[in-house]
Amino acid sequence: AQKVTQAQTEISVVEKEDVTLDCVYETRDTTYYLFWYKQPPSGELVFLIRRNSFDEQNEISGRYSWNFQKSTSSFNFTITASQVVDSAVYFCALSEAGYSSASKIIFGSGTRLSIRP
């Protein structure tokens, strides 16, 4: 069975601090995709990244970076120099093997991130 675990329910940091959101996944598939989404108070999901199971290179996009480690089944997300606008709920997610247009996405429980000014 596939599962995504985000152990951190809520995180609160002061602006400009770095913060890491943890994600651990379980799957029996050798081919899969991992995602991170941001959900601001408006509710609309904002796509942040997709990573396939064969690409373990770390990714950096501005203040955001992702660390994918298959050995520990983790796909962690770090925000550097956090800003108040980063406050949102962040979801880690996993799609089934052979990701295609028809593959359903399984979401973790989410981490509520609050950035205090």
Q: How far apart are CA 36 and CA 22, in angstroms?
A: 11
Judge contact between 12 and 111, C-beta under 8 A.
no
21 scored as a contact of another protein (CB under 8 A) = no
For 8-64, the DSSP string reads -SEEEEETT--EEE--EEE-S-SS-EEEEEEE-TT---EEEEEEETT----EEETTE
User: Out of 41, 43, 62, 117, which residue is the one contacting another protein (CB under 8 A)?
Assistant: 43
Near another protein by CB under 8 A, which window of 12-20, 43-51, 60-68, 70-78?
A: 43-51
**Per the structure block, which two tokens stand in for 45?**
């999901």
Q: How far apart are CA 85 and CA 34, in angstroms?
A: 24
Q: How far apart are CA 59 and CA 66, in angstroms?
A: 5
48 scored as a contact of another protein (CB under 8 A) = no
109 scored as a contact of another protein (CB under 8 A) = yes
57 scored as a contact of another protein (CB under 8 A) = no
102 scored as a contact of another protein (CB under 8 A) = yes
Give the nearer residue to another protein in terms of CB position, either 78 or 103.
103
User: Out of 34, 110, 113, 115, which residue is the one contacting another protein (CB under 8 A)?
Assistant: 110
Interacting residues with another protein (CB under 8 A): 37, 42-45, 47, 91, 99-102, 104-110, 112
